[in-house]
Chains A and B, each alone.
Chain A
Amino acid sequence: MTYSPSEMMTVAAARALSNDDVCFVGIGLPSAACNLARLTHAPRLKLIYESGTIETKPSVLPLSIGDGELCETALTTVSVPEMFQYWLQGGRITVGFLGGAQVDRFGNLNTTVIGDYARPAVRLPGSGGAPEIATCCGRTYIVMPQSRRTFVETLDFLSSLGHGRTGVERLAGGVNTEGPTLLVSDLCIMKPHPGTHEFEVVSLHPGVSQERVAAETGWSVRFATDVTETPAPTAIEIETLRDLHARTARAHGTAAHVS
């Protein structure tokens, strides 16, 4: 079965979730990955959206984090202050999904500006829930399409903490959650080196070479000693993901996404 690099990325991210996880979900790729996991290998995965919906089971992907579908299919819906105070800051979330405009080798993320903060070349939406998702969830997974523009040597702005500017600031600052433990792109899977916390390639998606990954990374990327190949998506994974996107497109009255 043929599949796109974007579908490979979503499937690889979904596989990282288990039935034991309580997952703080962002919109876009994370939402597709989390719901794909729930519809395939992890039916007891608990999904939480920052709008306050707990254990939500949407049949279509929401366009926003607060679509009515999320509330109607949730076990319960709490206020936004309660969500951030009791559930996120209170340490109830095992894993948070994050992405951004830029990521660096230590999993720090920029979702704020390209250029100078006071006079930005591009004003991005901002960090939303991410600064506290990055520090209060047990661990985080980063999902982003990979290019030199997005995987950068130096962030223009550090919106959400990964392992810190030089890989040590997270621990030194007393942040006692794990931080980013997984980075999934459309080319490969990376994990932080246990000593330096620098993300290194542990698995290449089928058909992707080390040279290609190096060319699409803004820092001199390292490869683990035993790089493996990511298992290709199964027919069930691809069919479930495409069904989900088709239902979503019908519900929103828009063209189907390709991811």
Chain B
Amino acid sequence: MSEFLSLSAAITRFVRPGAQVALEGFTHLIPFAAGHEIIRQEIRDLALVRMTPDLIYDQMIGSGCARKLTFSWGGNPGVGSLHRLRDAVERAWPRPLELDEHSHAGMAHAYAAGAAGMPCALLRGYRGSDLPRVNPNIRFIACPFTGEELACIPAIRPDVAIVHAQKADRDGNVFIEGIVGVQKEAVLAARHSIVTVEEVVDTFPAAANSVILPSWSIGAVVEAPGGARPSYAHGYYTRDNAFYVAWDAIARDRSTFLAWMEKHVLSPVSRA
């Protein structure tokens, strides 16, 4: 059964130095509050996994949390580069970053394979691309029935998955709706999981495409209202697109980045 914990207690218990950690949420419901807590606790040497690193991994990489990144698209959507990710790859600042680079289809299949308890994922992917030349985790095997050559990549089975959701009920079941991304697969693929939620409610609403994660499939539930900002929580608040645009100038320079992190994430006021 899931356990209700504070954010700091949940991160301390499950996110250990060196762990493989996936914070998921495809544009929607990105677990920023949990990522910021990892930065505050100065947890190092993480192997981060995420289809779209987005601003949260830019912040974690720039803060020195990561030794490795498994990903498929590392930009600021509609804006441009993730400058902290680029600085780590191009100039090893604040430390070198090993890349395990895939396509979206590869990552999506690999999460689904992880949730299914499989060692690897098969897909009709990466055909003609140079990605298999630079990533030994992308290989090809022949279908035993048709002979068709198929891409094969390791399943993603993280030590910890962290996602943000709209609601938990008082038994610790979790409700997600809207763009549901790969959150269900990430949680079911992981050894441990933390779900931050906007609110804890008595009963869930009926919803067209809701995903329900039973309490017994989750490690910890944390009430963290606003925990996906500046991304968004469908039904609660919208994406802060102006901040995504503003991040470009903040992150472009190491000193403005560090000052922003100090003021908005690390300072005693923001810890309260």
Contact = CB atoms under 8 A, between A and B. Distances in A.
A122 B125 CA distance: 25
A173 B182 CA distance: 31
Interface string B241-268: 1101100000000000000000000000
A8 B24 CA distance: 38
B103 A68 contact: no
Interface stretch (B5-13, B104-112, B157-165, B196-204): B104-112
A67 B239 contact: yes
Nearest to A254: B245
A120 B180 contact: no
Interface residues of B, number: 57
A70 interface: yes
Contacts of A123: 74, 81, 85-86, 89-90
Interface string A93-125: 000000000000000100010000110111111
Nearest to A175: B127
A131 B239 contact: no
Contacts of A83: 108
A203 interface: no
Contacts of B123: 85, 89, 132
Given A70-B179, A80-B108, A159 B78 contact: no
B103 A129 contact: yes
A132 B125 contact: yes
A163 to B, nearest CB: 9
Contact of A67 (B27, B128, B134): B27
Contact of A131 (B85, B105, B211): B105
A78 B209 contact: yes
Nearest to B112: A81
Contacts of A118: 134
A79 B123 CA distance: 17
Contact of A254 (B101, B185, B241): B241
A160 B105 CA distance: 13
Contacts of A80: 26, 51, 104, 108, 180-182
A220 to B, nearest CB: 24
Nearest to B232: A68
A52 interface: yes
A43 interface: no
A64 to B, nearest CB: 3
Interface in B90-126: 90, 101, 103-105, 108-109, 111-112, 123-126
A52 B179 contact: yes
B178 A77 contact: yes
B27 A125 contact: no
A200 to B, nearest CB: 22
B184 interface: yes
Interface string A18-51: 0000000001100000000000000000000011
Interface in B222-245: 232, 234, 238-239, 241-242, 244-245
A131 B111 contact: no
Contacts of B111: 81
Nearest to B180: A79
Contact of A51 (B27, B101, B125): B27
B129 A158 contact: yes
A16 B255 CA distance: 46
B241 A85 contact: no
B179 A117 contact: no
5 contacts: A81-B185, A84-B104, A125-B74, A127-B131, A131-B131
Interface of A: 27-28, 50-53, 62-68, 70-71, 76-81, 83-85, 88-89, 108, 112, 117-118, 120-132, 134-136, 157-161, 164, 169-170, 173-175, 251-254
Given A63-B79, A112-B130, A124-B81, 12 more contacts: A27-B77, A66-B26, A71-B234, A81-B109, A85-B112, A85-B123, A88-B105, A126-B72, A130-B103, A131-B129, A136-B124, A175-B128
